[in-house]
Structure 1
């Protein structure tokens, strides 16, 4: 029998949500997504010991403010992880703009350009990379500029239709609606469990997918942040799904029948909306879940970014 993972690959582009080189080589996803948490964990693996030594040696030769050097070395290491992943996948690798730039449009644009330049220095062309930005109003505006420069963007930490519409209006290449984190909020708020068909995260992605297809929006919908295989199965047919190695393994061992749930051929008509800044901020204000989970996600990624920079700082001090 064909596994559910293989069946899923027939209808959805499967992406690995990991920096685990062994898992990527074994599971053979089309794309990979990373974030500060994933990069920090990956750098703990023995295979990146030489990359850390190289980056620290490089950083030790740089002049200027010490903290700027720390941040630059941390950026270099993020690119090192991404460059290794590029070797293993035929598609794209997402590399995240610093979480502490989530409300800084110009800073995000500058960092996005630097990410692409750093990859190009290593011979990795921009068509292999997605610059990952938080779906704040400022992050979306940064993506609008970068997209016009030929730098494709992945808008992450997306929890609402308001964010999805604003991203589409900005011409974003791809969005990553977070299924599991939406479920987490609703479980905590209501005290109840949800089946896959009732799952608020699943329903949110289905609504966004339907809106995009109904209006022929080219932005790719990539469901992310899954808590269980049921959520993934309930979104079979979505443009892309980024899945952890544990859930990819679970799907690969299940030879049950997988039913397609999403298709461009079965969308329903919905009203086309335009979301300007005032409307965006009001819609987010009225959506407690989206507001809280967006802020929480930025804080979490910022915490892991600090952990990465702390590790770099210690390595630089020891090398001095």
Structure 2
């Protein structure tokens, strides 16, 4: 399973890249706004730190606006991916960009039908939001399992980015369900390598060692 970082914080990305855990980065307008920096500058800097895909989202809601933005963003770096909304206009732009060889990430997917439409339109990645589905009492992970079945059934080259990841259970279940990628907030990532029994074990080893040296 690949791990993407769901952040636009450059220092956070640099720190976690050193652990060998970052296969890509996803950003959105809200994450960029938190940094208080120029959108293009942030995306380009991230693209120099991470060799994998870096998603940058369009702001336009009409296909022609999306395409105009996408054509500009695609020139910013060779590993940039155009993030598009799951709408009719978004599908139009996805298809048009895929025909030009520009990679896309269709976001805000909440159903199998939406994921299937995005894959058919030529999306490189689709981003189902498991946490937001859980919020309304729906099993977000069931969507991941179903989307993986559809993609496997029809040999779509599209990869599933499990998004709106809220906890370690989401990451573990996404891996078991066959999600290709989990995009994880930097603040959540340490919980994946930490465990209280690990901490207790380290303390005991050190205590026993210190007793031997006394």
TM-score, length-scaled by structure 1: 0.57
Are 1:106 and 2:99 counterparts? Answer: no
Are 1:242 and 2:183 counterparts? Answer: yes
Q: Indicate if the aligned counterparts of 2:110 and 2:133 stay in contact, CA closer than 8 A.
A: yes
Match of 1:224 in 2: 163
- Specify the SS of the correspondent of 1:222: strand
Structure 1 stretch displaced more, 230-239 or 173-182: 230-239
Change over 3 Å in CA distance of 1:254–1:88 after alignment to 2:
farther
Cα distance in structure 1, aligned partners of 2:67 and 2:27: 19
Q: Indicate if the aligned counterparts of 1:158 and 1:176 stay in contact, CA closer than 8 A.
A: yes
Match of 2:48 in 1: 87
How many residue pairs match? The answer is: 191
Cα distance in structure 1, aligned partners of 2:47 and 2:72: 17
TM-score, length-scaled by structure 2: 0.85
Over residues 15-42 of structure 1, what are the superposed CA-to-partner deviations in whole Å (9 max), with x where a residue is unaligned?
A: 0000111211111211011001100112
- Specify the SS of the correspondent of 1:95: strand
- Which consecutive unaligned segments of at least 5 residues does structure 1 have? 1-11, 49-76, 187-198, 257-320
Are 1:22 and 2:11 counterparts? Answer: yes
Deviation at 1:252, TM superposition (A): 2.0
Deviation at 1:141, TM superposition (A): 1.1
| Pairing partner for 1:170 from 121, 143, 164 | 121
Cα distance in structure 1, aligned partners of 2:2 and 2:196: 19
Q: Indicate if the aligned counterparts of 1:94 and 1:131 stay in contact, CA closer than 8 A.
A: yes
Cα distance in structure 1, aligned partners of 2:100 and 2:130: 30
Q: Relative contact order: is structure 1 or structure 2 higher (C-alpha 8 Å, sep ≥ 6)?
A: 1
Match of 1:36 in 2: 29
Deviation at 1:254, TM superposition (A): 3.6
Over residues 125-176 of structure 1, what are the superposed CA-to-partner deviations in whole Å (9 max), with x where a residue is unaligned?
A: 2xx0100000112101111001111111000011111111111111111101
Cα distance in structure 2, aligned partners of 1:83 and 1:255: 38
The structure richer in strand per residue is 2
| Runs of 4+ with >6 A deviation | none
Q: Indicate if the aligned counterparts of 2:165 and 2:182 stay in contact, CA closer than 8 A.
A: no
- Specify the SS of the correspondent of 1:81: helix
